[in-house]
Amino acid sequence: MPSLYPLKFKTIYKDKIWGGQKIKTYLHKDFGTLPNCGETWEISGVKSDVSVVANGELAGESLAGLLEKYQGDLVGKKVYDHFGNVFPLLVKFIDANEDLSIQVHPGDELAKKRHNSFGKTEMWYVIEADPGSTLIAGFNKELNEQEYLEKFNSGHLIDILNKEDVKAGDVFFLPAGRVHTIGKGLLIAEIQQTSDITYRIYDFDRVDDKGNKRELHTEEALAAIDFKHYPEYKTAYQPEENKTVMLVSCPYFTTNLMEFTENTEKDYSGLDSFVIYVCVEGEFTVKHNGSDYPVKMGDCILLPKTIDKVQLETKEGFKLLESFIE
């Protein structure tokens, strides 16, 4: 078998009722003849949309196929023992030209029982935000199911939701169960569990081009919702130039921010996991084993577990999200 190396994948483009043009105009990714692009799936093990390698000797191979062949060499022994032949993370870019539906995702237990799937805990990193952009994360007060239903049934759901003003660089962690929506004007990088299960609670009475409303999942959502109120929904962090800064650490993934204006070396020999880089600004080159792998804004690259050390070289600086499973 060929030796593993830093892997790039073909982008999967998805048009959405709320999608826009920023994938093309801001991230410079060409979605062809689609009328818009709401999401790109950059690294995916979801059965309906499995990523395919775009670079090097393994080009054309699916991520699922690589997992079967390389197992722990690709993802780490501990990760492979736990997840088997399912790649555990899904990486997306999301362009919200309109508000997404108000929604919630089930946790592992409910998702397993109902869908034989993983749950969906996720995080957002805001790449770009139009002036005045907002999003919804969680509730603005403590609630129980009855109080929630009273507001929902009377058409006042918005009154109990926590709305946040948003700017580029903001981070939100969304554990399964947290009601949320991405607001109009936001371009976001999303790291999440491998799951495509969404319970749509409210869709602003939108209709598609055929005049049909999208399906709602009012009843299904009830068992998934976390009704607690939390003091903070935005993730606080202090950016530091030329340092690795932790953003999110949970059982499903750890994501750090690396903002560098100079070359650096990363040593992953003590980590029993793959590593994903999501470039959200600038560009750099991953140097490994005598080969160069250029990465620019909008690119993602997967470092297999067998890669212990890489050099990152840059001329003009870069900002990236570094994700792995601890």
| Residues annotated as catalytic (active site), given as ranges | 200
The CA distance from 84 to 48, in Å, is 18
The CA distance from 167 to 14, in Å, is 25
Task: Retrieve residue 133's tokens.
Answer: 């952009």
Q: Tokens 């918005």: give the residue.
A: 158
Per-residue DSSP letters for 135-204?
A: EEEEESS---HHHHHHHHHTT-GGGGEEEEE--TT-EEEE-TT--EEPPTTEEEEEEEES----EEEE-T
The CA distance from 44 to 12, in Å, is 9
SS3 14: strand
The CA distance from 4 to 73, in Å, is 8
The CA distance from 242 to 266, in Å, is 12
> Alpha carbon of 265 to those of 29, 168, 203, 204: distances in Å?
28, 27, 46, 48
